[in-house]
Structure 1
Amino acid sequence: MLAPYAHAQLTVQGRVIDAYTKEALAGASIQAHQSTVGTLSGPDGSFSLILQTAPASLQVTFLGYVSQQVSVQEGFLLIRLAPAANQLNQVIVSASRQAQARTEAPVAISSISSQILHETKASTLDQVLNKVSGVYMVNLGNEQHTMAIRQPIGYKSLFLYLEDGIPIRTSGDFNHNALIEINMAALKNIEVIRGPASSLYGSEAIGGAVNFITQAPTPVVTAKVQIEASNQGYRRTDFSVSSTFGKLGIYAGGYYAAQRDGIISHSDFDKLAFTLRTDYRITDRSKLTTSATLVDYQTDQTGGLDSTRFFRKEYSSLHTFTYRKVNALRIRSTLEHTWNADNHTQATLFFRRNAIGQNPFYAIANMPGNPLKATGEVNEDAFQSYGFLAQHKKSFQFLNGSLTAGLSADYSPATYTARFLDVDRSEDGVYTGFTPKDSLLTHYAVDLLNTAVYVQAELSPVNRLKLVAALRYDRLDYKFDNFLPPSAFTGAPDEQNRYEQFSPKLGLTYDLGKSKGVYANYSLGFAPPQITELYRGVKVPTLKPSEFRSYEIGGWWSFWQHKAYLDLSVYQMDGQDEIISVRQDNGAYQNQNAGKTRHRGVEYTLHLNPVETWSIRFSGTNARHWFQDYVERGADYSGNEMATAPQFIGNAEVTFKPLFLKGFRMSAEWQRVGRYYMDPVNSETYGGYHLFHARVGYTFKGVEAWLNVLNLSNELYATTVDKYAYGKSYRQGLPRTFQFGVGYQFTAQGK
């Protein structure tokens, strides 16, 4: 202890880091107990505090983290702060592409912290995303998915998926299943914007935008390895190593996952994901961040089950050869420079290479008159992207305002090829094999160019009131080259199409004092026609972008001496010019703009910390989605509920961390998906499901062990159900699943 030196000047040195990611926390406040002497941590989290007398402790605080009182001891102090689940003023970056307090952003946004990611030990992203109110990520097996954020469950490009603010896939090239390409092991946290975010991020950010923020290098040497397995044939290994050498920080990490002998036959998969990131601090004001993520993925494909097989739990697959393969590489390099207290610039160059090959189950069609034959296809969708994004923020003393302006360009040449298959079928309906044919179904190339400029202004005309206005202009150019003779089968003739869109946003926040506030916003989101909607299986491409106008109010309220926190959002979103497939007089189908839809809902999250050892969270959404004016394939659905649109989604969790056993945790989680119609005719409903999960874990000196029990009651449920002309399709959920894992993390003390 430093007590013997109480009458001499002394220096206390240390570093402040995140307790879970081990990243440096720059700008943390370190205050000597019962003293006015204090300092802030530097860019690498380090601090040095000169004291006349030795205090008993230091008070360490950082926005969005639990404050900590640290005993002053001899040597270098390594202070680990834990993210605060109930902290009102969490720091977010997705609302303006720069760090700001949650209460300053007039949007519905939720952050999934590093602590939640660490303690959930999710094998799929839906296990953490579904904790967020208004979000239902549908698990389709082997990390395949679909999404519902302020929209029904569906496969349209109405949600934008970002990695460090850059879209994972290029706009206009179908982004369904894009989250296969996320490296879950390299995540620091996840931010979810609910509602349109097109004024900042452009197209497809309609139902919401999900930003996956990657792990930064640690200021001290860290290394981690963990392995896990389940009783359903799942195996996974995570690994990472990180450190900083002078001005250069390096992080490398990823995971390998495999599925063998699952509950459904022909459902194996393999995935390798790896991320390498370097942060180079050029000066105290400049930093260069470069990261590369590589994903190699392959899975067997299985479709849904009919009602008979689902309720009898007959999980054998009719498909024995269908598959999906993904090879993705993303590289980005960002230069940030702070000119002075009022000016900050960041510029990013990025490259993407992506290829998705499939022998899709949904393309197999039985051959009329021959029960032993069917048709199918193999296809590959590939693109490369070369992109640039630059943004500058300038702050003003006038009305405490700021102006943010940016521009971006994304050039992505893409190709698509589909080849015909002759499929063999057994007498009991199993598709047993196929023979490739020479005939090409589709073969084309498209050059996509997306250019955009945006500006966002913020003003505080009176104390506690903040106004935000934003406008973005997007231009999307498509140059289509069909290598086959154009037809309703092979696609449109060579064509050039251009789409232009202005996306405004107006918002305000008002601080009511005593940790209470309200916000309101109006925003517009849009989605351009996707390549396949424009050119595949059509004769003439004549489509307009879909538009969605959103109106939203909400607020936050911290009460019960900050032991409780409520976040609330109420919204209405009106869609028009949605792209649907309409049957023509000759029996063929044509993609057309048609219809108007309306989406209304209320989203709420309540956090409670009645005592230090217990925390309770409840997230819920009550919503309705219906057609106002909608005709599809000759049927008028105006006034009907939209299909696969749950009216209620809820998630609650109780966590216990006893003081008498530091490092131990246990939690119980409840997931509810309410009833919804299976089809737009509203002829039949699915009642939804209740699920219960239990988790227990213990960490001691870097060694960790955990057990997750998913679907504790072993409920028979479907993650989604659709009804078609030929019957129903149930996507079965996992039965009771035990996931066990062990891991070790090394953290050097460092100086």
Structure 2
Amino acid sequence: MKQCCLLIIACMAVYSSYAQQLHGRVADAQTKEALPGVNVRLLHTAAGCNTNAQGRYDLPVTATDSIEISYMGYITRQVAAHAAAHMPVIYLEPRTANLNEIIVSSSRDKQQRTEAPIAISTISPQTLNDTKATTLDQVLNKVSGVYMVDLGNEQHTMAIRQPIGYKSLFLYLEDGIPIRTIGDFNHNALIEINMAALRNIEVIRGPASSLYGSEAVGGAVNFITASPTLVPTAKVQLEGSNWGYKRADFSVSNTVKKVGFAVSGYYANQSNGYMDHSDFHKLALTAKVDYQLNEKTKWTNAATLINYKTDQTGGLDSTHFFAKDYRNFQTFTYREVKALRVRSTLDHEWSSSNHTTFTAFFRNNTIAQNPFYAIKDVKGTQNANGQINSDGFNSYGIIVQHKKQFNWKDAALIAGVSADYSPATYIADYIAITKNAGGYYASYRETDSVLTDYRVGLLNSAVYTQFEFSPVNKMRVIAALRYDRMDYNFENHLTSSAYTGAPTERNNFNALTPKLGLTYNLGNNRGLYANYSVGFAPPNISELYTGVKVPVLKSATYQNYEAGGWFGFANHRGYADLSVYRMNGTNEIISVRNADGVYENRNTGATTHSGIEWTVKYEPVAGLLLRTSGTYAAHIFKAYEDGNKVYTNSQMNGAPKWISNTEVTWKPVVLKGFRIGAEWQHIGKYFMDAANTAIYNGYDLFNARAGYAFKGFECWLNCMNIGDQLYATTAEKSAYGKTYRVGPRQTFNFGVAYTFTGKN
């Protein structure tokens, strides 16, 4: 017996001599960011652990063990323990065609894509890197149901479950916070995004007002910025085009103990393009600092600065457009944007079932312009008139959210409050303009006449809640409700006889927006979803007060019904995603022409929007990825009167029925680092006016991209509009004739980059 005990003790001693505590971290192979919640386990036993908030794991192993590292949306890795001991960071590669990824925009918290009963798409870091976009529409238009309209030099407007237009029906967010205050919408708001700072983009199609409030009607686009990397990284990137476009990007990032930082930005400059008076420049900078106070508390501070100025170019008439005459008759119009956003977020995990987030933010924004669209000719003379205006605001806001998880039915409750005080000012001065014999608007003279001068104290406050649970196995039910109140304290600094003569007064708008949805998991990465949601959009301050005597507008309301599903192909080769929707809008704000020829905004519109959206991604063989995304939709006026003209049951203008984007990308296994791809963008025909008297036939655009990366070096060549096709990004007909906004001509972009990655 004594000998047996001694033998057992000896064996234990020998075993312990070979045992070791394996430490390490897990990160995303593309972004180098830490991956929390990764499962790290011994390959042949049940022993294992999950990585913490900084991607760290700690696992007892022996020299003969192997470990398996797995995480949703990533390719599982197996590593021998003795090899892992010499790998301070283990990198996981994202799956090429991934369905069940982690999203944050659907509930303001992390969740699986297949548990969100909404139409949502993600633009991955890989897509952003491969596209090498010079404008955001080059990536957003890959999303089904999205047509981001290029208006030149990063200027744009949007169409998501809506026709091409300029209304406040889309909400743009940065890390879950609106980049502009509600009530002061600008369709060019994405000028204020720093493309060099992005990690990925999430796009919600359809109303998201139950979580994000007003303006989230056609959709909400959340731009998620990159977090600090686990290892030291630095990148510099240079590119240019055959039309005088030049751009330089940089980024620096690292984590030292509990503190991580990331700084990134770019400077872009356009000169001597194919169209006269089309130069611009932009500086964008973003800094982010994460401080992991302890395992349960994280403090994040971030700031973004934008300085932008562009020449403004308008559309061309039919004669100049079809003759490919790119002369611009505007010689002095411009738009200048200065924006600063600062936020501070404290995340605290009270327990495994309680999590609180507190965010305070500040925004400072000014848009100054001499707009081409405000120029009006004086009949019978060589004179015209216009305006120079400035729209600015400061914002002071907070968002507090708590999430509580329950043992009953896998339930979870999210509750939050938000408040945003944003005093805004708007000033417009009258200018006298002179045209020369060639028809060019050659010069202007400032006058002492003030058209508009007001201040609005904007106060947006809201409470919201969302409850989700699984009443039966494989089913998930989500119910959400939000109450918003918007107070406008308007102070007019002019008399009642002025162009803007509305009296000083207070206006308020409020809305209760519900959402009810469910998902059903059919197994094998297949499932169904359905939801009912409500969106609303209060009148913008420029709609409510500018150029009016008495503000009388109400909020527009939209009711949305949709259903859909997803189908994952075998062996993670790809997936298909489908959505069907119908959205009814009432009290829509429409610019109506009165008998005297003057336009004014009225709540006279009612519309229906219905369609089907799809995305299919498939990797038939390793390295070859096929994707097609698109929508077929009908947008109908149910009630619309413009003076004596009635357009009920007419198709809405600027509303193509077919929108699709198809792409094939090849990354040959035998030539690692090389990629080549081709893309087809299709915009179907649509009516140019509400009376349905003129049609624009749409366009088909073909693009190609190629690149090669070797170690830290990368070079690429993109050819946009391969056939140098003449096309218009917008086409409109008014009482003054037809106007076409010229799409970019054949453009070659060449770039080089170098990325340094440390070994820590």
Tell me whether the two structures share a fold, i.e. TM-score over 0.5.
yes
Q: 2:128 aligns with which of 104, 117, 142?
A: 117
Q: Deviations over 1:353-385 (max 9, x none)?
A: 000000000111111121x21101100000000
Q: Which residue in the other structure is 2:76 paired with?
A: 67
Aligned-pair identity (%):
57
Structure 1 residue 166, shift from structure 2 partner: 0.5
Contact 1:6/1:54 (<8 A) preserved: no
Contact 1:17/1:25 (<8 A) preserved: yes
Q: Deviations over 1:164-203 (max 9, x none)?
A: 1110100111221000000000001000000000000000
Which segments of 5 or more consecutive residues in structure 1 lack a partner in the other structure? none
Q: Which residue in the other structure is 1:713 paired with?
A: 723
Q: 2:356 aligns with which of 316, 326, 345?
A: 345
Q: How does 1:376-455 map to 2 (within 5 A)?
A: 376-455=386-465
User: Secondary structure, in 3 states, of the residue corresponding to 1:578?
Assistant: strand
Q: 1:261 aligns with which of 250, 272, 277?
A: 272
Cα distance change of structure 1 residues 611 and 70 upon mapping to structure 2, 3 Å threshold: farther
Q: List structure 1 runs of 4+ shifted beyond 6 angstroms.
A: none
Q: Deviations over 1:217-247 (max 9, x none)?
A: 1121111110011111111110011111221
Please say if 1:503 is aligned against 2:504. Answer: no
Q: Which residue in the other structure is 1:736 paired with?
A: 746
Paired amino acid for 1:423: I
Separation (CA, whole Å) in 2 of partners of 1:639 and 1:331: 46
Please say if 1:152 is aligned against 2:170. Answer: no
Structure 1 residue 585, shift from structure 2 partner: 4.7
Separation (CA, whole Å) in 2 of partners of 1:659 and 1:587: 65
Q: 1:323 aligns with which of 295, 319, 334?
A: 334
Paired amino acid for 2:208: A
Q: Which residue in the other structure is 1:220 paired with?
A: 231
Contact 1:358/1:378 (<8 A) preserved: yes
Cα distance change of structure 1 residues 285 and 736 upon mapping to structure 2, 3 Å threshold: same
Q: How does 1:458-537 map to 2 (within 5 A)?
A: 458-487=468-497, 489-537=499-547
Paired amino acid for 2:68: Q
Please say if 1:656 is aligned against 2:669. Answer: no
Please say if 1:631 is aligned against 2:641. Answer: yes
Q: Deviations over 1:579-607 (max 9, x none)?
A: 11223455443321112100000000011
User: Secondary structure, in 3 states, of the residue corresponding to 2:572?
Assistant: coil
Q: Which residue in the other structure is 2:19 paired with?
A: 9
Separation (CA, whole Å) in 2 of partners of 1:310 and 1:622: 28
Q: Which residue in the other structure is 2:190 paired with?
A: 179
Please say if 1:307 is aligned against 2:329. Answer: no
Contact 2:183/2:540 (<8 A) preserved: yes
Please say if 1:335 is aligned against 2:334. Answer: no
Separation (CA, whole Å) in 2 of partners of 1:532 and 1:436: 22
Separation (CA, whole Å) in 2 of partners of 1:514 and 1:642: 41
Contact 1:549/1:575 (<8 A) preserved: yes
The two structures, once aligned, show a CA RMSD in angstroms of 1.5
Q: Deviations over 1:509-537 (max 9, x none)?
A: 11111211100000000000111111111
Q: More displaced, 398-407 or 272-281? A: 398-407
Structure 1 residue 487, shift from structure 2 partner: 3.5
User: Secondary structure, in 3 states, of the residue corresponding to 2:222?
Assistant: strand
Structure 1 residue 663, shift from structure 2 partner: 1.3
Please say if 1:692 is aligned against 2:702. Answer: yes
Q: Deviations over 1:251-297 (max 9, x none)?
A: 11110001011110100000000001111111100111110000000
Q: 1:594 aligns with which of 594, 598, 604?
A: 604
Cα distance change of structure 1 residues 25 and 225 upon mapping to structure 2, 3 Å threshold: same
Structure 1 residue 38, shift from structure 2 partner: 3.4
What TM-score do you get using the length of structure 2 for normalisation?
A: 0.96
Separation (CA, whole Å) in 2 of partners of 1:103 and 1:486: 56
Contact 2:365/2:394 (<8 A) preserved: yes
Separation (CA, whole Å) in 1 of partners of 2:58 and 2:110: 25
Separation (CA, whole Å) in 2 of partners of 1:45 and 1:212: 23
Cα distance change of structure 1 residues 580 and 488 upon mapping to structure 2, 3 Å threshold: farther
Q: More displaced, 221-230 or 574-583? A: 574-583
Separation (CA, whole Å) in 1 of partners of 2:508 and 2:299: 35
User: Secondary structure, in 3 states, of the residue corresponding to 1:577?
Assistant: strand
Q: 1:565 aligns with which of 565, 575, 598?
A: 575
Q: Deviations over 1:436-493 (max 9, x none)?
A: 0011011110100000001111111111111111110000000111101024622311
Cα distance change of structure 1 residues 428 and 239 upon mapping to structure 2, 3 Å threshold: same
Separation (CA, whole Å) in 1 of partners of 2:295 and 2:569: 39
User: Secondary structure, in 3 states, of the residue corresponding to 2:18?
Assistant: coil
Q: Which residue in the other structure is 2:759 paired with?
A: 749
Cα distance change of structure 1 residues 70 and 525 upon mapping to structure 2, 3 Å threshold: same
Separation (CA, whole Å) in 2 of partners of 1:694 and 1:82: 25
Paired amino acid for 1:112: I
Contact 2:98/2:574 (<8 A) preserved: no
Separation (CA, whole Å) in 2 of partners of 1:394 and 1:243: 33
Separation (CA, whole Å) in 1 of partners of 2:535 and 2:660: 26
Which segments of 5 or more consecutive residues in structure 2 lack a partner in the other structure? 1-14
User: Secondary structure, in 3 states, of the residue corresponding to 2:320?
Assistant: helix
Structure 1 residue 126, shift from structure 2 partner: 0.4
What TM-score do you get using the length of structure 1 for normalisation?
A: 0.97
Q: Which residue in the other structure is 2:7 paired with?
A: none
Separation (CA, whole Å) in 2 of partners of 1:343 and 1:77: 31
Contact 1:643/1:677 (<8 A) preserved: yes
Separation (CA, whole Å) in 1 of partners of 2:526 and 2:467: 24
User: Secondary structure, in 3 states, of the residue corresponding to 1:170?
Assistant: coil
Q: How does 1:267-278 map to 2 (within 5 A)?
A: 267-278=278-289
Q: 2:91 aligns with which of 69, 76, 80?
A: 80
Cα distance change of structure 1 residues 657 and 583 upon mapping to structure 2, 3 Å threshold: closer
